Amino acid sequence: GRITEKRLGAKALAIRGQAGGGTVTIADDAAGVQALPDDAILELAQLGRRVERELYGGAPQDIEWARADGRLYLLQSRAITSLYPLPPGMSARPLRVMFSLNHVQGMMDPFTPLGQDTLVAGYLAMARAVGRHFTAATQREVYIAGERVYVDFTPGLLHEQFRHIIVRVPGVVEPGSEEALLSLLDDPDLQPNRSGLSPEGMRNLAQVMAVIGSRIAKAMRDPDGQRVAVLGMVDRFIASANARAAETTSLAEQLVLWQQILDEFGDEIGPRFLPMIMAGMMSFFLLRRLALNELGSDLLALEAARGLPNNTTTEMDLTLWTVAQVIQADPASAQRFAEADAAELAADYLDGALPLPAQVALRAFLDRYGMRGLAEIDLGRARWREDPAHVMGVVQSYLRIDDPGQAPDTVFRRGARAADTAIEQLVASMPNPAKARAASFLASRMRALAGQRETPKYTIIRTMGVARAMLLRSGRELAAAGTLRQAEDIFFLHLEELHRIAAGSRGDWQRVVDERRQHYERERLRRQIPRLLLSDGRAFYEGLGAQTDGDGSITGSPVSPGVVEGVVHVVFDPRTTQLAPGEILVCPGTDPSWTPLFLAAGGLVMEVGGLMTHGSVVAREYGIPAVVGVHEATTRLKTGQRVRVDGTMGRIVVLGEE
């Protein structure tokens, strides 16, 4: 071995033992002197490798050692349990760099086993659509670590042609990850090779890009027509999936159908969505670039993204606001929602016992959106139609909005008008007619298509809703047969295990489920998970602004312009929290189940996320100032503090206690 780098400590104090017992502390200016000679350093490194490899099977160890009379002594060794776990079986070399999908989804919780398998199966279906054929065992892109999902970026980093594109991808959705990734570019193990793509790889890439490029061009020429065509295809796909699911009579049939549905999504639906979404996002980014180049600021371009039409999540939020208005207009319904807590209201709804106007309005809402829920990207998590307590709590918070000017539908319309004004100003500010026409064209395409950003995930969740309802039927049958304790236990088994059960395999499956539930609950206790995880054990947790600025402000990524002052409300679980109108929502991250809270929020601060993640998009649409990617925001900010959130500059200033 060899020493690759040396950093000498200050060594300002030395604590030495005395012959008669006790210690003595000595001031010692030894900053320029090595504590160990080079040969001892190499010997110590060799000892550490031997202990880890030969005595403990490669498990990381915390080692205590001593050196006396030129000889090293091993005092003790114990396993390091605080390190973030690596994917099972992954070796340190060759070095792999993995990006957290949980951060992109705004979901810090672990995935259930069946939820993990579903994401991998979905990835395999999408890969097959572009000519890449793998199995769950042979694919090397999606990994599970700490029951979270990580995506391997390494092939792109090592590719000379794509390296500089790959390192910028996280910046769109998770800027904290981009900072960490950029810090790794000089790592000797991550230097690009010059091999490039194989001829076959180039042909496949060219074919895929030609199809995508053609569809992007169609979306830019006729955005409304393309949107209507794709959404019609989606509705037919979901209707067919529901009809076929209703006909299944066994777990074996359900597992086959679920794979067929995933394959159909990968073959037909995903490839249709991608170009349309890319067209909308390209228009937005090009409009921002044009504004920055010509005006020195992208503020008008960000304003132009307010009140976007055709956003399924915004439509859901406004539909729930309409439900609240129905309840407010009926005295019996309004009284019941004022007196009961959310859990009682949910129980009443499931029993059909709410006052009739409330029951009917909520049934219509949940018939349409009941497949949604907290951490909904995990097939194993409960949906609103199973437990609507969260929906009831949000309705109660809406009922407390008594300022007509802050009514969500009014705010949304106001945002759309502000966007129109911003576009007019942006176009008028261009230095020549050609650039004015470009700004107008890009703005029109962004308005027509960027709202569709939420639709692919909404479609995935609708698809999962079909699968979850279908599999719960089998879960109830397995519980009735004594194989499982409850129907929901089915989601704590892997696909391969369910195939074995469907084939008649017997075993103590409840014991397996119980052990996994215990492990799952332990993993849920993790407050931080790595944004980037490396195969050698290195983990990058920090987001933007890990250090407080000199003026005491906290920094992050500005994603929704505007400045607001309000009282902090730190939220970890939207199901158990109601926001008072105008409060500043501070949370780890959000998925669509959180966004009904946005209608009451005055501002948004998130630990994860970027310009195009879910919470940022919705915040812009409602005109809520937002700063995201803020390192440990939920611990650095406290409920009850009064803060100023500057979504234009990306700064949060604590003003005091309320």
Q: What digits encode the pLDDT tens for the residues 379-394?
A: 999 999 999 999 999 9
Rounded Cα distance, 217 and 449, in Å: 13
Residue 563's SS3 state is strand
Q: What is the DSSP string of 136-184?
A: TTT--SEEEETTEEEEE-HHHHTBTTTHHHHTTHHHHH-HHHHHHHHTT
**Which string of b and e fits 445-454 if b means at least 16 CB within 10 Å?**
bbbbbbbbbb
CA 117, chain centre distance (Å): 17
**pLDDT band, residue 315 (cuts 50/70/90):** very high
Q: What homologous superfamily is domain 554-657 in, according to CATH?
A: Phosphohistidine domain (3.50.30.10)
Question: In which element (H, E) is residue 642 found?
Answer: strand 641-646
**pLDDT band, residue 27 (cuts 50/70/90):** low
Do 13-79 and 554-657 fold alike per CATH?
A: no
> Among residues of the chain, what percentage have pLDDT more than 90?
58
Does residue 94 have a cis peptide bond before it, meaning omega lies within 30 degrees of 0?
Answer: yes
Closest CA to 624 of 563, 566, 569, 579: 563
Across the range 117-137, mean pLDDT stands at 87
Residue 75's SS3 state is strand
CB atoms within 10 A of CB 220: 20
Residue 535's SS3 state is coil
3-state helix, strand, coil in the chain (%, to 5): 55, 15, 35
Q: Which of 53-67, 208-222, 250-264 has the lowest mean pLDDT?
A: 53-67
Q: Are 12 and 29 in contact (CB under 8 A)?
A: yes
What is the chain's mean pLDDT, rounded? 89
Confidence (pLDDT) at 31: 60
Residue ranges of the domains in the chain?
13-79, 265-474, 554-657
Rounded Cα distance, 261 and 268, in Å: 10
1 to each of 44, 45, 284, 537, 590, how far by Cα in Å?
11, 9, 52, 20, 47
In this predicted structure, the answer to whether residue 547 has a pLDDT above a threshold of 60 is no
- 159 catalytic? Reply is no
Q: What is the DSSP string of 348-409?
A: HHHTT-S-HHHHHHHHHHHHHHTT--TTTTSTTS--TTT-THHHHHHHHHHHT---GGG-HH
Contacts of residues 24-29 at CB distance under 8 Å and 24 or more positions apart, as own/partner, are none
Question: Is pLDDT larger for residue 183 or for residue 479?
Answer: 479
| CATH class of the domain defined by 13-79 | alpha beta
Question: Is pLDDT larger for residue 642 or for residue 201?
Answer: 642
Residues 6+ apart with CB under 8 A from 296: none
Rounded Cα distance, 371 and 387, in Å: 11
Choose the catalytic residue: 103, 390, 569, 614.
614
In this predicted structure, the answer to whether residue 167 has a pLDDT above a threshold of 60 is yes
Here the tokens at position 620 are 């812009």
Question: In which element (H, E) is residue 628 found?
Answer: strand 626-628
Confidence (pLDDT) at 10: 59
